[in-house]
Chain A
Amino acid sequence: MKPALTARQAGLLSCHVCGQLAQAPLEAGQSMRCPRCAAPLHQRKPASINTTWALLVAAALLYLPANLLPIMVTSSPVNHQVDTIMSGVIFLWRDGQWPLALVVFFASVVVPLLKILALVYLTASVQMRSRHRVMQRARLYRVVEFVGRWSMLDIYVITLLVALVQFRGLATVDAGPAAVAFGAVIVLTMFAALTFDPRLIWDPLTDSESADHD
């Protein structure tokens, strides 16, 4: 079987934006732009592992206030209800609206947590140059990339409810501090997924063949 050849082994850079291949500069560390679309060219995303770690740590820290602080405050003449993300889900569930409770639970609780855990696993395995389950990890990355955006759900719900339900004396809805933390978690994890370079998952496979040479 002919060994697989990557662009890096062939001394080529492929543009992250348009896919154009270009000859890598002879001197390492030289910066270069894509001849076709003028995007900066890199062999791999620069400082991918460190940047992803930093974003993940920040996201994990903010995940706590996002889930512990109140996200929504509902007031009416008869009650004053302070909800965290989870208590909002439980309220919906007890109310018999379990399909909705499940949607919110997955989008707001499960997806951000799994996304952080999955990216931690991917970044750690890449850092340790693991050669196990390469295909599964490549698939996991695709899922993480696709599913992360749906966490914005709760942010939009709050935006609409807070704007709409402002009937003084009857019912009002206000946003709590968790909304800011939660928004930050989403933005940080999206950046973490963007800075992670999936090619690093595959690199150990081809490095073994050329490790002696460079």
Chain B
Amino acid sequence: MANDEYDFLFKVVLIGDSGVGKSNLLSRFTRNEFNLDSKSTIGVEFATRSIQVDNKTIKAQIWDTAGQERYRAITSAYYRGAVGALLVYDISKNITYENVTRWLKELRDHADSNIVIMLVGNKSDLRHLRAVPTDDAKNFAAENHLSFIETSALDATNVELAFQNILTEIYNIVSTKSFAEEDGKKFDPREGGTNITLSQEGPKGESKGCC
């Protein structure tokens, strides 16, 4: 069924408050679709897409969950083996930006300590409603060693780039570090936690592609 020709398989999770557009980022990236009235996510959604980095095929297994699921139920299953996280907020709703610190704590508590995190300010098309200045978020990201990008799932701005960036970042870490000696070995996120030895490379790429 699925085309299983890939060199690396990375699990990436989408987190952030309810209604910031996580599901639409996922559908835009994996199916190039956007739905203005998309239903709220219940539990977990899941999609994959493969991209090329450095002549290697990277299969991204992207998990999307209900914003409310911050409260337990599937937390451990959700973060298990994740090597990347897109922490999404809505640039038109300040509260979703304020809650970013809570999500970072959640990641610290439940995800692998070396998980690659990208802060994503979504709904950048809503310029007239902007509540979170780009520079604020950019500075916050730098302080916390996060990558940063603003996107619009609605008009597709930067969505592709956001995923490309985080997957490339993960790939760079994985290929240069822990897997140098076993080139080409499949990187299976389900083994995560035991043999992931990602390390933070410092705040790199934080201003890539932001508008």
Is B one of A's binding partners? Answer: no
Give A residues with C-beta under 8 Å from B: none
